[in-house]
Amino acid sequence: MAILGNIRKRSGLAVIFVGVAIFAFVLGDIGKSTLRNDVNVGEVAGETITYKDFEKKVEENVVFAKQSAKKDNLSSEEIFSVRQNTWTQVLNELIMAKQYEELGLSISEDEMTDLVQGNNPHRFIVQNFTDPQTGTFNRETLLNFLQTLDQREPDVKAQVENLFKYIKDDRLQQKYNSLVSKAYYMPKALLQKDDQLKNVKVTFRAVAQNFNMISDSLAKITDKDYEAYYAKNKPAFEQSESRDIDYVVFDVLPSTEDRSRLLKEMGELYTEFGSANDVPSFVNFSSDDRYDSSFKKKGSLPISLDSIMFNSPIGTVTGPVVENEMIYIARLMDIQTRPDSLKASHILISYDGAFNAESKLTKDQAKKIADSIYTALRGDKKKFEDLAAKYSKDPSVGTNKGDLGWFADGNMVYPFNKAVLLANTGDITRAESQFGFHIINVTGKTKAIQKIRVAIVNRAITPSTKTLQSVYSIASTFAGSNRTIESFNKAVVDQGLNKRTKEYMGPLDQGLPGMETSRELVRWAYNPEAKVGDISDAKEFENKFVVAALTKIRTKGIPKLEEIKSTIEAAVKKEKKLDLIAEKITALKASNLSELAHSLNARVDTLRDITFYSYNLPGFGREPNAIGSVFALNRNEISKPLKGTNYVFVVQVDNFSDAPAKSDYSMERMQMENNFQARATSTLSRALEKLANVEDNRVSFY
């Protein structure tokens, strides 16, 4: 109702926007048709993924997602997630299909039959044919289902077909993973070496100097320093495609005039409300929310209405009152003393044509059965559970034997709720609803309390068309007047606006934080013709207008030095300082560690029981380069300056302890094989995807 209200209130602007949108759409398609026709959604190992094929797969998965979630519609976030998962699915299918073909992997008909109905069926089969009450796999149900599959509805057949496909794909993947993981071999010599690296311990003395001991003024970095650092660390700079944007948000909020206008409208409705004859129709026509006929207990109405309605006579009309950006008027329709909660068991006899029913009974046949059960139970209520188990069509009867437990007054369908309410605890009563005929055993009621039925007309305080146009005009003027980064930033300061930043925005990001429908801004930033310095037009997202500036474009791969120079400056400066410290130490030509420590005004530290696999050096933190270099020294040998992560070390080895003698490495072999298999399974798909040269063009379509 709120959405309809917004459309109603903005109908004039909507016509203008629709007209402009259609015009823009036609022009846009003329300009972009060549691009769209030439670009597929993606390419994997030379095989194209067309928009048509991909969208068909997305639609299929949306249907399955709705069925799984038991929803008629999915939210935009859920559809986005389905599309993402579909892409992963399509990639995996194409990549693995080529792998299976090259290796000759397949699933025979006999193997598939065994996976579905053999002695050890696939886990997907077990999951779908396990009795929820006993938790055991029901083979008889499976076989009966398969025998009658040809008679099932098309949707069921499609689901089963997909289930069989998932089983086949899963088994092929298992075979492939097994081939890869079983290819691992660890020779005994390497096991022995690994054991030594884990268990040989070194004790050494060290003199260390932290890079911060050199001031920034002494560490003058040159282009040559940048180039050397860049060349040495080039693989570490590999990046994904991303964009940076600055943006300002113009919120469309109700104006004082909007509030006054809506209060006036509600005041006029208040006058009509008191004399309205058909109150439900009046509410349904005038309110954002439909008429609610249920009885409410104290504390369940908006605070501004609750105390008034519970202390007034029937017919009282109050309002307009404002609460949480809503305006209310209310009319007291009825006052009753009713229990807040009810308890009952029921037997449902459905018939062909009843809501959500799977029954071959006619309505007359169902009524006769219901009447017979009602008569039988009036004579002996002890038969209730047995009769429920035998006749009831309520899906929950298998677990609750018809017992619905406690439920709030008004939570059941009206005829059922009314029948329980009017009967006494212990009575057998009956009712007819859209689901069929109910035979009811009323088993409990809480103490009766005062409840009221209130007709409420509510309206959300929303911006008017005039306000929307005004904010749009401001945002459009800002965008049109500031077409460069410099003018954009100046206008932000001059107008006191809040500039926000979105860094590393990927092509598949949903949009901006807190704006669920802002995907269009991502597509704008990834337009093939976009360049740094571009300013967007005013884009509308969820009662907001956004104007953005594209400030950085990162391409996939290793960036040029110029692109990351500012990013690596601190690391290059640290490297320079470490080099200066190493040069200083070399120039001192100290003959031993004590002499060196004295010259540097430092100390000699002793570090004990360090292994090659040690993660940290006590007192110095993570220093893998230093640890590795120590194990390359001989006993009593004094090292040259060793550049580490944050320190330059000069060390002298005092002692290496021997690893314990060992002849059996079976445990180590098993651990390393398990580690490899786990890593192979978890990283295999990423490795294959990288080799497949995947081209992802989804941002051009979604």
pLDDT, one tens digit per residue, over 220-249 is: 999 999 999 999 999 999 999 999 999 999
Residue 432: the pLDDT is: 96
Give percent of the chain with pLDDT exceeding 90. Answer: 71
Range(s) of the domain holding residue 299: 256-338
Side-by-side strand order, sheet with 605-610: 605-610, 201-210, 647-657, 642-643
Distance, CA of 106 to CA of 98 (rounded, Å): 12
- Coil, strand or helix: which one is 560? coil
Do 495 and 419 lie in one domain? The reply is: no
Distance, CA of 61 to CA of 166 (rounded, Å): 13
The mean per-residue pLDDT over the stretch 373-386 comes to 92
- The answer for residues whose C-beta is within 8 angstroms of residue 543's C-beta and 6 or more apart is 251, 252, 253, 463
What is the DSSP annotation of 62-108?
Answer: HHHHHHHHT-SS--HHHHHHHHHHHHHHHHHHHHHHHHHHHHT----
Distance, CA of 94 to CA of 450 (rounded, Å): 66
Angstrom CA distances, 484 to 231, 478, 480, 549, 550, stand at 35, 11, 10, 8, 10
Do 248 and 262 lie in one domain? The reply is: no
CB 286 within 8 A of CB 270: no
CA gyration radius for the chain?
37
Note the pLDDT tens digit of each residue in 569-605.
Answer: 999 999 999 999 999 999 999 999 999 999 999 999 9
Note the pLDDT tens digit of each residue in 473-512.
Answer: 999 999 999 999 999 999 999 999 999 999 999 999 988 9
Do 492 and 524 lie in one domain? The reply is: yes
Side-by-side strand order, sheet with 326-339: 296-297, 448-460, 326-339, 317-323
Note the pLDDT tens digit of each residue in 45-95.
Answer: 889 999 999 999 999 899 888 888 888 888 888 898 999 999 999 999 999
Angstrom CA distances, 686 to 44, 90, 124, 508, 509, stand at 13, 14, 25, 18, 20
Residue 678 lies in a domain: no
Of the pLDDT bands very low, low, confident and very high (cuts 50, 70, 90), residue 10 is very low
Residue 515 lies in a domain: yes
Last residue of a domain, one of 538, 554, 570: 554
Of the pLDDT bands very low, low, confident and very high (cuts 50, 70, 90), residue 309 is very high
Residue 133: the pLDDT is: 67
Query: What values do phi and psi take at 165, rounded to 5?
Result: -65, -45
Give percent of the chain with pLDDT exceeding 70. Answer: 94
* CA-based torsion, 220, 224, 228, 234: positive or negative: positive
Q: Is the pLDDT of residue 8 over 90?
A: no
Q: Is the pLDDT of residue 675 over 90?
A: no
Query: What values do phi and psi take at 37, rounded to 5?
Result: -70, -25
Do 293 and 320 lie in one domain? The reply is: yes
Do 332 and 399 lie in one domain? The reply is: no
Do 293 and 357 lie in one domain? The reply is: no
Last residue of a domain, one of 445, 480, 510: 445
Residue 290: the pLDDT is: 95
The mean per-residue pLDDT over the stretch 342-355 comes to 94
- The answer for residues whose C-beta is within 8 angstroms of residue 578's C-beta and 6 or more apart is 211, 643, 644, 648
CB 335 within 8 A of CB 466: no
Beta-carbon count within 10 A of 702 CB: 19
Q: Is the pLDDT of residue 19 over 80?
A: no
CB 370 within 8 A of CB 430: yes
* CA-based torsion, 533, 534, 540, 542: positive or negative: negative
Residue 688 lies in a domain: no
- The answer for residues whose C-beta is within 8 angstroms of residue 487's C-beta and 6 or more apart is 481
Distance, CA of 350 to CA of 362 (rounded, Å): 9
Distance, CA of 330 to CA of 315 (rounded, Å): 10
CB 492 within 8 A of CB 499: yes
Query: What values do phi and psi take at 542, rounded to 5?
Result: 50, 60
The mean per-residue pLDDT over the stretch 543-568 comes to 94
Distance, CA of 316 to CA of 681 (rounded, Å): 70
Residue 191 lies in a domain: no
CB 547 within 8 A of CB 536: yes
Do 572 and 653 lie in one domain? The reply is: yes
- The answer for residues whose C-beta is within 8 angstroms of residue 345's C-beta and 6 or more apart is 384, 388, 401, 402, 403, 404, 440, 441, 443
Do 598 and 647 lie in one domain? The reply is: yes
Do 353 and 431 lie in one domain? The reply is: yes
If we measure between CA atoms, which residue out of 308, 286, 283 comes closest to residue 298?
Answer: 308
* Type and span of the H or E element at 474: helix 465-481
Do 268 and 333 lie in one domain? The reply is: yes
CB 180 within 8 A of CB 654: no
Note the pLDDT tens digit of each residue in 194-218.
Answer: 999 999 999 999 999 999 999 999 9
Note the pLDDT tens digit of each residue in 148-190.
Answer: 888 888 888 888 888 899 899 999 999 998 888 888 888 889 9
CB 481 within 8 A of CB 487: yes
Where do we find the tokens 């990423």? 686
Residue 542: the pLDDT is: 83
Last residue of a domain, one of 307, 338, 369: 338
Instruction: Give a three-class secondary structure readout of 234-283.
Output: HHHHCECCEEEEEEEEEECCCCHHHHHHHHHHHHHHHHHHCCCCCHHHHH
Domain count, the chain: 6
Residue 7: the pLDDT is: 29
Do 396 and 420 lie in one domain? The reply is: yes
Note the pLDDT tens digit of each residue in 437-469.
Answer: 999 999 999 999 999 999 999 999 999 999 999
Where do we find the tokens 């597929």? 40
Residue 60 lies in a domain: no
The mean pLDDT of the chain is: 89
Helix axes 154-181, 76-103, angle to 10 degrees: 50
Note the pLDDT tens digit of each residue in 125-135.
Answer: 998 888 776 77
Angstrom CA distances, 217 to 13, 105, 221, 516, stand at 62, 64, 10, 48
E-strand stretches of 541-665: 544-554, 605-610, 642-643, 647-657
CB 353 within 8 A of CB 360: no
Instruction: Give a three-class secondary structure readout of 393-410.
Output: CCCCHHHHCCEEEEEECC
The mean per-residue pLDDT over the stretch 331-354 comes to 94
The mean per-residue pLDDT over the stretch 329-356 comes to 94
What is the DSSP annotation of 6-31?
Answer: HHHHTHHHHHHHHHHHHHHHHHHHHH
Do 584 and 645 lie in one domain? The reply is: yes
Residue 672 lies in a domain: no
Distance, CA of 286 to CA of 301 (rounded, Å): 19
Residue 670 lies in a domain: no
- Coil, strand or helix: which one is 182? coil
Q: Is the pLDDT of residue 38 over 60?
A: no
Residue 646: the pLDDT is: 97
Residue 334: the pLDDT is: 95
Amino acid found at 150: D
Residue 371 lies in a domain: yes
* Ramachandran area for residue 347 (φ above 0: left; ψ -120 to 50: alpha; else beta): beta
Where do we find the tokens 């003199």? 207
CB 318 within 8 A of CB 309: yes
Q: Is the pLDDT of residue 609 over 60?
A: yes
Where do we find the tokens 């009769």? 387
